[in-house]
Every structure is written in C-alpha cells, then in structure tokens.
Amino acid sequence: MEKTYSNITAMTITELEELADFYLVDISDVVDEYGRIVIPEKSPYGFTANDVHPDDFKAISQFGRIVKNYQKLMNINKTN
C-alpha cells in the first residue's frame, strides 16, 4: 500500500477507526510505529477523502466497517 504522511497532528481513536474503515484497513495501517498518521494513497472507492462530504465520509466508513467485519468472519470460517 502506498502511503503518505498527514499533517494532522492529533486524532481521536474514533476518528482513526473511521479513517481505517474508510480505507478498508486496520487501524494499525493508518498509524505508523512513531504514532504518525498515515493516509493510504488510493481509496478503494476511486476517490480521495477530499472529494467526500463529511456526512458521506461517515456513511462510507460505516459501510467499510461492515465489510471488514464480514471479511474477518469469512477468515474465521476458513480456519474452522
């Protein structure tokens, strides 16, 4: 995953989770080992966060959380 560092200096855990959900990645993928916020270069939806209204961002993030949970359930089913 290509990434760029954000100039954002602080985000709440909820905001980090929403960011991770938006990009369909784990929260550990949006924070590096030094605590810097990392923004993936490409959105899985074909647009960047700058193209999205804040309400749209929340809705897409909620959908992303559903997709990630579904993927986790499918991985659990494969291992059992």
* 39-75 pLDDT per residue, tens: 777 666 666 556 667 787 788 888 888 988 898 899 8
Question: In sequence order, what are the beta bridge partners of 39?
Answer: 4
First to last CA, the chain: 29
pLDDT score recorded for residue 1: 47
pTM of the model: 0.60
Using one digit for the tens of pLDDT, what is the confidence trace for 12-45?
A: 888 888 888 888 888 888 888 888 888 777 666 6
